[in-house]
């Protein structure tokens, strides 16, 4: 088959136990652990392989089926802090850094650091402007292949990233991660300059720029400047009139994907932001923050004339 084959069973005349090994047909990987070959084949993207048996131990003669339909990726490594799960332990370790705030991937001459090596690669491409991954259906190109795959779903309508806790599915893994926060409600990353807290360290980092005075990304067409390049790109669309994010349920289109997500809730009725004190829910986080002030009595907006 195209997945795994069972190597010859070796037995010793002095022992009654027999050892079964499994070899990947696509590379030199060999293991005696059936779960190990499952995880390995999942990483290859093998669609014909599926294991329905317990792990193989010494003395067992169970074979791994090589042609089973309806394969589903087995993800044995589950995060203890959120619903995500992974086929590889190394991916789980990288994911855990989004909870701990650890950022081991750095460049020599740049202060920014990242939890994932893939994010560092994206950052490097943004500096160079290189976009080697080109869409075959439209003129767009991307710095990383994962962004191209996500973009392709805008043509096909495919939404491969499915929530484990509700029926929703998403075209982008980042959107699924953001959605998962509506289930967990955990916000371990606290701003040291104000009371706000966030589920992801990247969100906290983005928020910190609202406190920072430095705004290195300057618009070439007007005096505005921004702390983040992504915000500058969204702003540039106000000059060009480009609105690439189109609603699937009505003719409206938007310059920013986050605005499209908020708009979509007017169709679906989704209200993910819930007050902890009275349980009223809102479609936008800004509306929840405004509502919270009715409980705290906070009035942050003062008139400058009286």
Query: What residue spans define the domains of the chain?
Result: 1-74, 89-196
89-196 CATH pick, 3.30.1490.20, 3.30.70.980, 3.30.160.60, 3.20.20.80: 3.30.160.60
Q: Quick one: 306 exposed, middle or buried, by C-beta within 10 A (0-12, 13-18, 19+)?
A: exposed
Average pLDDT over residues 87-97: 77
Between 14 and 98, the more confident residue is 98
Is pLDDT above 60 for 67? Answer: no
How high is the pLDDT of residue 163? 85
Residue 64: exposure state from Cβ atoms within 10 A (0-12, 13-18, ≥19): buried
CA angle, residues 85, 91, 96, in degrees to nearest 5: 75
CA angle 209, 215, 219 (to 5 degrees): 130
Whether 4 has a pLDDT exceeding 70, the answer reads no
- What would the DSSP string read from start to end of 150-167? HHHHHHH----EE-SSSS
Give me the mean pLDDT over the 93-120 stretch. 73
Residue 130 has a pLDDT of: 75
pLDDT at 61 (0 to 100): 33
Does the pLDDT of residue 48 top 50, yes or no?
no
Give the pLDDT score at 54. 36
Contact 110/119 with Cβ under 8 angstroms? Answer: no
Mean confidence (pLDDT) of the chain: 72
Segment among 18-22, 84-88, 139-143, 271-275 with least mean pLDDT: 18-22
**Res. 99: pLDDT tops 50:** yes
Average pLDDT over residues 32-50: 58
Of 143 and 56, which is predicted with more confidence? 143
Q: Is the pLDDT of residue 270 over 80?
A: yes
- Compute the Cα dihedral for 157, 163, 164, 166 and give only its sign: negative
pLDDT tens column, 139-169: 888 877 777 877 887 788 788 888 888 888 8
Tell which residue, 123, 119, 128, 159, has the closest CA to residue 149. 159
Measure the CA dihedral 262/219/174/261, to 10°.
Answer: 10
The number of helix segments (H) and strand segments (E) in the chain equals 9, 21
Residue 100 Cα distances to 3, 79, 120, 219, angstroms = 36, 12, 18, 35
What's this model's pTM, rounded to 2 decimal places?
A: 0.31
């Amino acid at each position: 088959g195209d997945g795994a084959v069972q190597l010859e069973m070796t037995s010793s005349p002095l022992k009654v136990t027999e050892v079964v090994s499994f070899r990947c047909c696509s590379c030199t990987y060999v293991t005696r652990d059936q779960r190990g070959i499952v995880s390995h084949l999942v990483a290859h993207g093998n669609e014909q392989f599926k294991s329905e048996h317990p792990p193989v131990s010494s003395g067992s003669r169970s074979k791994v089926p090589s042609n089973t339909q309806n394969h589903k990726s087995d993800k044995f490594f589950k995060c203890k802090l959120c619903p995500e799960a992974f086929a590889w332990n190394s991916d789980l370790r990288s994911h855990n850094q989004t909870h701990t705030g650890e950022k081991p991937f750095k460049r020599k001459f740049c202060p920014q650091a990242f939890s994932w090596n893939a994010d560092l690669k994206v950052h490097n491409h943004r500096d160079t402007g290189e976009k080697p991954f080109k869409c075959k259906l439209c003129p767009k190109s991307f710095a990383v292949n994962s962004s191209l795959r996500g973009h392709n779903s805008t043509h096909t309508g495919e939404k491969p990233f499915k929530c484990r806790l509700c029926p929703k599915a998403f075209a982008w893994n980042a959107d699924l991660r953001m959605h998962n926060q509506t289930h967990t409600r955990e916000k371990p990353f606290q701003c040291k300059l104000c009371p706000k807290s966030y589920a992801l360290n990247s969100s906290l980092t983005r928020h910190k720029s609202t406190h920072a005075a430095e705004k290195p990304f300057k618009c070439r067409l007007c005096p505005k400047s921004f702390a983040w390049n992504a915000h500058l790109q969204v702003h540039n669309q106000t000059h060009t009139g480009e609105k690439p994010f189109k609603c699937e349920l009505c003719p409206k289109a938007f310059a920013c994907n986050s605005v499209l997500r908020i708009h979509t809730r007017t169709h679906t009725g989704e209200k993910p932001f819930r007050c902890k004190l009275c349980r009223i829910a809102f479609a936008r986080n800004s509306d929840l923050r405004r509502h919270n002030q009715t409980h705290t009595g906070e009035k942050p907006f003062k008139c400058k004339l009286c």
